[in-house]
Amino acid sequence: MVTELVPAAAFPLQSGLVPRGTRTFVFESIFEVFLLLGTLVGIVVVGYMLYNAYKYRSGSGNGHIDDGDRLVLGELPSGSGGGRKLFTSFFMSMVIVVSLVSWTYLTLLYVEEGPSDAESLDVEVEGYQFGWRFTYPNGHTTDGVLRVPADQPVQLTITTADVFHNFGITELRVKSDAIPGQETETWFTADEPGTYTAQCYELCGAGHSYMSAEVIVMPPDEYEAWYANTTADNADADSATANESSLRPAVAP
């Protein structure tokens, strides 16, 4: 049985103000928004500081207060608009912060739940000292190599056979704990074919640094052809090689 592949058009990159698409696209959108907002705030603050430094510089005559006009304890300053500037700045700051928090929450909520309008490829991931085992919907199992189609959401169900691990693919912005006796879920979508590296990000023993796996993103038609030739009984030729390579450093003293 070959899983049905979803065309890229069914998985839009964005929807309205809240970004939708691959995890990489979503996290890049968050970074760009925070970078832009931080830059604007920095420009306004530094610009206003430099303006006042120039306006009230020594010898400009601005800001001079006669002794008779000095405020006493408990007296409110006049000519400041009754605190309107303070209220306006506080209100604008509140609107910006609440809007940013709400937008970020809705964006991360989408990341946690995953795309709901597209069929995903479900793969079970099991960590062990010191490698990764992947089981496909038809029961086919590979060690050290995960093959997925491009432009299709991949749903991962992650657990571990021994100690705590953490499965992560940096380039695809994927990271989730592998907990003994429990299952965690995460997802990703790779928009282009290529080869990525999955690693363990939880210190799990002597071979932790070598606990990695290849993530091969294939064109949809090539993935269909590969998947059609897999069963629960056969194994990839490159799985044994990858598994042997990952285990070799772990037995070193």
pLDDT tens digits, 5-21: 333 333 334 446 776 77
pLDDT at 80: 59
129 and 39 part of one domain:
no
Where residue 181 falls among pLDDT bands split at 50, 70, 90?
A: very high
> Does residue 202 contact residue 165 with C-beta atoms inside 8 Å?
yes
- Whole-number pLDDT of residue 235: 61
| Domain-located, residue 3 | no
Alpha carbons 102 and 144: distance in angstroms, whole number: 39
Instruction: Specify whether 100 is located in the same domain as 57.
Output: yes
Q: How confident is the model at residue 76 (pLDDT cuts 50, 70, 90)?
A: low
Whether 126 and 247 share a structural domain: yes
Q: Domain for residue 15, yes or no?
A: no
Q: Is the pLDDT of residue 118 over 70?
A: no
Assign residue 169 a region: left if phi > 0, alpha if psi is -120 to 50, beta otherwise?
beta
* Residue 6 belongs to a domain: no
Cα–Cα distances in angstroms (integers) from residue 152 to residues 19, 129, 193, 198, 213, in the given order: 17, 30, 11, 18, 20
Report how far residue 253's alpha carbon sits from residue 250's, in angstroms, rounded to the nearest whole number. 8
In a domain, 14, yes or no: no
Q: Are residues 128 and 235 in the same domain?
A: yes
Cβ proximity of 122 and 138 under 8 Å: no
Q: CB-side exposure of 135: number of CA atoms within 13 Å?
A: 11
What CATH code is carried by the domain that includes residue 203? 2.60.40.420
Q: Which two tokens stand for residue 171?
A: 């380039």
Is residue 215 situated within a structural domain?
Answer: yes
Query: Do 155 and 212 reside in the same domain of the chain?
Result: yes
Domain closes at, from 68, 92, 113: 113
Tell me what percent of the residues of the chain surpass a pLDDT of 90.
40
pLDDT of residue 252: 36
The domain in which residue 211 lies consists of: 121-251
Instruction: Give yes or no: residues 152 and 243 share one domain.
Output: yes
pLDDT score at 79 = 61
pLDDT at 214 over 80: yes
| Residue-wise pLDDT tens digits, 81-105 | 656 777 888 888 898 889 888 888 8
198, 215, 199: which is closest to 207 by C-alpha? 199
**How far is residue 149 from each of residues 8, 32, 171, 212, 213, measured CA to CA in Å?**
11, 28, 16, 20, 17
The mean pLDDT value of the chain amounts to 80
| 78: confidence class by pLDDT, cuts 50, 70, 90 | low
In the chain, the number of structural domains is 2
Reply yes or no on whether the pLDDT at 157 is more than 50. Answer: yes
Please report the pLDDT score of residue 232 as a whole number.
72
pLDDT at 253: 32
Q: Is the pLDDT of residue 251 over 50?
A: no
Give Cα separations from 144 to 18, 53, 135, 156 (angstroms): 35, 61, 11, 15
Confidence of residue 107 (pLDDT cuts 50, 70, 90): confident
Q: How far is CA 132 from CA 160, 168, 210, 234, in A?
A: 9, 11, 11, 17
Quickly state the pLDDT bin for 106 (edges 50, 70, 90). confident
User: How high is the pLDDT of residue 237?
Assistant: 53
DSSP string for 83-152: THHHHHHHHHHHHHHHHHHHHHHHHHHHHHH--SSS--EEEEEEEETTEEEEE-TTS-EEESEEEEETTS
Once rounded to an integer, what is the mean pLDDT over residues 48-71?
75
Beta-ladder partners of 198:
213
Asked which of 75, 94, 113 is the last residue of a domain, the reply is 113
Angle between helices 84-113 and 23-55 (to 10 degrees): 170
